Structure 1
């Protein structure tokens, strides 16, 4: 197999992902950069971080929802499929969509690093590129390894032009179109 060729077509991946979800407890597969990969099953602290962020989003913008389960069609060239830890969009954005939704209404995707060997490649390299290529306005990476937030914004079709790195404990406002202010002090409680 050549490195620049996808392992399979997106439709083949979707069938494998459906089968894995039915037969394997907690299987969460993704298809990024032409290659199939698995996401670690979230631990309790990971889930608590998503809960924390969901509550903040609901308090500031109740018409939006941070969906923790919706798969997204990403990457125009490779027809990727991603399962962000959260997709912030209008509450009805995914009504009528299937397992893999059009990302057009998504305002922000969120990933929380897992303590697995693929985190660096997946969350810090492949996903920022894939989400920027897709045109998702904001990518928020909550990095538990470095105790930092990486806020990616202003996608240009292949990368995010702005990347802001902040240590846990800072207060800041997410870029437009999100505009929600986060006080990140509590994140220090949910890391190893």
Structure 2
């Protein structure tokens, strides 16, 4: 009988295995963000209201018919700035014709996602910095950040080399122009 040689596990491999084995309490989200396991409690009502305001407008006004998920785990590519990240955006949009979510495993690749949405919570810097870099590393074309502390929205676009090259920040109440495939102005008057 010959022994099979195995490569030794790296610290990143052990972290990923431990993360994937977590048994998170119902309603909580566990994510692996830039080498840190992050567990967040269920969102509050204001958080959910912001998401609903966005979803309803996308369904009514988007040029492209979109599908939405508020629970889809995304595996972002290894290497670069964000090795082995697993994030669950507050909202994920993809063109409906692609049926991206149908049959997808708990953690799916991010290819085909048109927009990731985050609403800041108790650790807003994570949404402003780490998640932004991770979504850009995954080449997600658009990242919309609803920043409750700053009462503003920021649309990041044009991902390249682990970050977004363009951003537009507007206060709540001002419309945010969502480019193709959405091609409409997201009204934010009800965000204030």
Instruction: Sort the TM-score into its range (normalised by shorter chain).
Output: 0.7 to 0.9
Q: Deviations over 1:158-187 (max 9, x none)?
A: 110001110011113113343231111100
The correspondence of residues 95-134 of structure 1 with structure 2, limited to 5 A, is: 95-114=102-121, 116=122, 118-120=123-125, 122-134=126-138
The correspondence of residues 70-109 of structure 1 with structure 2, limited to 5 A, is: 70-77=72-79, 78-91=83-96, 92-109=99-116
- Deviation of the 1:98 alpha carbon: 0.9
CA-based RMSD: 1.7
Q: Give the whole-Å Cα distance in 2 for the aligned partners of 1:75 and 1:178.
A: 25
**What TM-score, normalized to structure 1?**
0.85
- Please tell me whether Structure 1 or Structure 2 has the larger radius of gyration of its CA atoms: 2
Residue 143 of structure 1 is matched in structure 2 by 147
Structure 1 consecutive aligned stretches of length 4 or more whose deviation exceeds 6 Å: none
| Unaligned residue ranges in structure 2 (runs of 5+) | 1-10
Identify if the C-alpha distance between structure 1 residues 178 and 76 changes in structure 2 by more than 3 Å, giving closer, same or farther. farther
Q: Is the 8 A contact 1:137 1:177 kept in 2?
A: no
Q: Deviations over 1:23-78 (max 9, x none)?
A: x2322100010110122321011111111111111112372122111110114221
Residue 57 of structure 1 is matched in structure 2 by 58
Q: Give the whole-Å Cα distance in 2 for the aligned partners of 1:12 and 1:179.
A: 41
| Unaligned residue ranges in structure 1 (runs of 5+) | none
Q: Give the whole-Å Cα distance in 2 for the aligned partners of 1:53 and 1:33.
A: 27
Q: How many residues align?
A: 176
**What TM-score, normalized to structure 2?**
0.85
Q: Is the 8 A contact 1:153 1:175 kept in 2?
A: no
Q: Is the 8 A contact 2:151 2:172 kept in 1?
A: yes
Q: Is the 8 A contact 1:7 1:34 kept in 2?
A: no
Q: Is the 8 A contact 2:58 2:182 kept in 1?
A: no
